[in-house]
Structure 1
Amino acid sequence: MIFYFDRDCGLCERAAGWLRRASAVSTVPASLGQEELPEPVRSGIGTEAYCLRGGRFYRGHESIGAALRFGGRWAPVRLVGAALLFPPLRPVFSRVYRLVADNRAAIGARLGFGACRI
């Protein structure tokens, strides 16, 4: 399983570090237009994260959910992943993800994660 995140985002870099510790997922820093990346990652990484599992791409909050649910090292981590993928809650988590993603530069700066290059 591969998790792709925006290499130009301090908040994304910090979150990917946590994901590496909490799961058995390979994390790959990515940039828009990076030739060696698969499509849709190459064109969408500037707005959302992607997770590739078994030939299927998950994006946005579902990428985090898949990484945690299917790659989590501990049961509580896998449970959080399952919650993120739970169909009745997807609209809520999708909105929260979008809110964070749209404000990630400001959030990262406030939390002291360094300036984003986005």
Structure 2
Amino acid sequence: MRDSLLIVLYDQQCGLCDRSAAWIAHRNSQGRLLLAPNQGVTANIAGEPEGGENTGLVAWQGSRRFVGAPALAAALKALGGIWSVAGWLLDALPSPLANGAYRLIAARRQRISTACGWVARFKADLD
């Protein structure tokens, strides 16, 4: 996993997702991942659905596609250091638990964004 670049697609129209992408970008000091909106050209080239994946976060590493909690775990592991440990711990959780928690938050991400006053303004690495 460390050897190939991870492309992380996020919902650019969601304040929570946008803040999360900015958080990841700030910690991506080793350049192991690239961020792109899941409504952009990169997502279209990757074969993502028109308008983006409705689960919020998708990651591609080579031909492997991760969605939801596995995508978040892959991004954390790509960051390295303590974040890598967090990614491995997330991967160690039973899939129904990790995916269920992720889907619970993802389904409410617009309401969370509105309640926190978060608007999308992060500029991704790719379009």
TM-score (norm 2): 0.76
Q: Which amino acid aligns with 2:12?
A: R
SS of structure 1 residue aligned to 2:60: strand
Deviations 1:6-31 (A, max 9, x none): 11111111101111122331000122
Distance 1:8 1:65, change over 3 A: same
Q: Distance in 1 between matches of 2:74 and 2:64?
A: 10
The amino acid across from 2:10 in the alignment is F
Q: Does 1:36 align with 2:44?
A: yes
Matched with 2:34 is 26
**1:29-78 Cα deviation digits (max 9, x unpaired):** 12289873322x23552233111113201111100101111x1132x100
8 Å CA contact 1:11–1:104 kept in 2: the answer is yes
Residue of structure 1 in register with 2:113 after alignment: 108
Query: Unaligned 5+ residue runs, structure 2?
Result: 1-5, 121-127
Percent identity, please.
Answer: 26
Q: Which moved more, 1:103-112 or 1:88-97?
A: 88-97
**TM-score normalised by the chain length of structure 1:** 0.81
1:78 matched to which residue of 2? Answer: 84
Shift of 1:85: 1.4
Moved over 2 A (4+): 32-37, 41-44
2:59 alignment counterpart: 51
Q: Distance in 1 between the 2:25 and 2:40 partners?
A: 22
Q: Is the 8 A contact 1:19 1:25 kept in 2?
A: no
* 1:99–1:33 Cα change, 3 Å: farther
1:78 aligned partner, one-letter code: S
Matched, 1:67 2:75: yes
Aligned equivalents of 1:59, 1:10: Cα separation in 2: 19
Structure 1 residues 7 and 25: alpha-carbon distance in aligned structure 2, compared to 1, 3 A threshold:
same
Whether the aligned pair in 1 keeps the contact of 2:36 and 2:43 (CA below 8 Å) is no
